Structure 1
Amino acid sequence: MNKLNTRLYAVLCAALLATSAHAEKADRDKPVNLEADTVTLDDIKKISVYQGNVVLSQGTLMLRADRVQVTQNADGLDKVSAIGRPVAFRQKTDSGDEFIEGFANRIEYDGVTSQLELIGQARLRRGSDELHGAQISYNANTGFYKVVGQPNAQTPSGRVRAVIRPKPRTSEQPAAKP
């Protein structure tokens, strides 16, 4: 029963985040800017590797990592792979002045499928709501989240954890009755 409650809680939190955590769509049409201590470029394979204090920005998106590998295709950005301790990103959502923030040991993004993977000590935060797990997957096209814990972990920290804080009530909303 406890395992079922934990899964239900994680699903509810993921659904809550998915409904309003859509990244600002206007960012997709903005240029990608990268800064690093060093860069290597393979013009034939269309792969660039940025190392040392890497900062990637695109519109309201800001990503910081130790190493970022970018692969391009005929349409432009194809895949981004970032490694750090942790990799951190922050981006404004379409739902106002709210931001979504993510942290993980590694972040993989597929520009063709709009699939984002946060791998290793993954955390995702929107406002005061949070998700923690070994891996967090998000598909921007479908709005679907999946959070995976570490099944063989010897401590409770290996489980998926979600924190959903109540939203502030406006003066028009009555308090919930018991």
Structure 2
Amino acid sequence: MIRPPFTPLLTLGIIALLLGSAPTLALEGDASAPIEVEANRLDLDDRAGTAVYTGDVDIRQGSMQLTGDRVEIRRNDQGLLTLATATGDRAYIEQKPAPDEPMVRGWGRTIVYHVAERRIELIDRAELHQGGDTFDGGYLEYFLDRRVVQARADAEGVEGRQRVRMTLEPEQQDGQ
């Protein structure tokens, strides 16, 4: 199979947009950190604006990590990343918002990252850990900039209800 010489650069550019598009949330060095991608297969369709990685996919840049059995990255006509979707038995996303804040971690059978909106959807067996707080349910939505969580017991296309559960850690007061 003959690939145009720009294909690897385009792929890395798409990933850079995915992982480096959030400098206000991520650690300052994340956007300039090297991008590491591991997968068993890559199918790139430049005209459709998609890159599909399959087989134990692991994408990392700085403190951000996105994993799944399959990760699809979509971009618009201007070449800007619009959507990243990770699927698998337990797809995973994590990022450290700031040096003094704990890692934010999320799981689900499907994870959808809406880049422009800076919003993450965790679907089916969804779980989010933010500091000492945990959220579980059929569907969780996390707004990165506002650090807002919305949860539901059911998700579209998912059979059965997965009740929303939360564990909230109390604020620690000085001297305790």
Q: TM-score, normalised by structure 1?
A: 0.72
Residue-by-residue CA offset, 1:104-146 (whole Å, 9 max, x unaligned): 0000111122221000010001232100010011223444321
- The whole-number CA distance in structure 1 between the counterparts of 2:53 and 2:152 is 29
1:24 pairs with one of 2, 18, 26: 26
| C-alpha deviation, 1:167, in angstroms | 3.8
Is 1:98 the equivalent of 2:105?
A: no
Q: Which has the larger radius of gyration?
A: 1
Q: Which runs of 5+ in 2 are unaligned?
A: 1-23
Please name the residue that 2:124 is paired with.
Answer: 120
2:54–2:71 Cα contact (<8 Å) kept:
yes
2:139 pairs with one of 132, 135, 142: 135
Please name the residue that 2:4 is paired with.
Answer: none
Partner AA of 2:114 in structure 1: D
- The whole-number CA distance in structure 1 between the counterparts of 2:45 and 2:154 is 36
Flag as ranges the 4+ runs of structure 1 deviating above 6 A.
none
How has the CA–CA distance of structure 1 residues 143 and 125 changed in structure 2, closer, same or farther, with 3 Å as cutoff? closer
Please name the residue that 1:79 is paired with.
Answer: 83
Q: Which has the higher contact order (CA 8 A, sep 6+)?
A: 1
How has the CA–CA distance of structure 1 residues 97 and 115 changed in structure 2, closer, same or farther, with 3 Å as cutoff? closer
Q: Which runs of 5+ in 1 are unaligned?
A: 1-21, 174-178
1:113–1:141 Cα contact (<8 Å) kept:
no
- The whole-number CA distance in structure 1 between the counterparts of 2:113 and 2:36 is 16
| C-alpha deviation, 1:79, in angstroms | 0.8
1:79–1:110 Cα contact (<8 Å) kept:
yes
Please name the residue that 1:36 is paired with.
Answer: 39
2:113 pairs with one of 99, 109, 112: 109
| C-alpha deviation, 1:34, in angstroms | 2.6
Identity %: 27
- The whole-number CA distance in structure 1 between the counterparts of 2:68 and 2:151 is 22
The alignment yields a C-alpha RMSD, in angstroms, of 2.5
- The whole-number CA distance in structure 2 between the counterparts of 1:23 and 1:132 is 23
